Amino acid sequence: MIKISPSIISADLADLRATLRALENGGADMIHFDLEDGSFVPALGLGARIIQAARPLTGLPFDVHLMVQNPEWLIPELAGFGANRVAVHYEACPYPRRMLGLIAGLGMQAGLAFNPATPVPPLQFCRPFLSFVVVLTTEPEGKGCPSFLPSVLAQVTQGRAQAGLEGVEWAVDGGVTPENARQVCQAGAQVLVAGRGVFQGGTIAENIAGLRAQGQAGEAEYSHARN
């Protein structure tokens, strides 16, 4: 079952309540928050307090992606603000298993995110804390619209083939649109994180439906190729 996680950083935040209501009514499965520090990536994104502000406004799960150095200090705050799942970057964590254990110990699902240039290593040592993996298919550019990198999808296919990771969910984040969602899910993605693909061109509901339809077609082809 393909899940859609709209990235709220691409939304019009002037009326957060209305935006969240439109995402609920449009069929979103969760809400994605990118928190950036201007150091790990060349951009300053949303602050953590938007999660606190948004939590009373929707019952949808909150999917938080920490694009920050030294993420450990943020984890308890995110739990207190109502985050449901948190991904930290493998590149920012010298001891990823310990970091995942901290997230899981606070009652949240724990994930690892990988930049496009970082190969996904064997991750069996991260079980049982690891719930999901996020593979980035764009590189942050600080401004503009970074290009979708289809070659990175091989990381998803190879990662899902690792023995011992059954039940771990694989997400793709970066430049995902209804036009490439089928290709993304053919590679094995189960969660589509989409910003512009949800909030630009057409209505939110239409874009989510398009992502899901194309994603489910790709998911069927992924399953057929392995049976």
Residues identified as active-site: 34, 173
Torsion-angle region of 60 (φ positive above 0: left; ψ -120 to 50: alpha; else: beta): beta
184 contacts 221 by C-beta, under 8 angstroms:
no
Which residue, 177, 213, 207, is CA-closest to 193?
A: 177
CA distance 47 to 191: 23
Q: Supply the Cα-derived Rg of the chain in whole angstroms.
A: 16
- Sheet with 85-89, edge to edge strand ranges: 3-6, 191-194, 169-173, 130-136, 109-114, 85-89, 62-67, 31-36
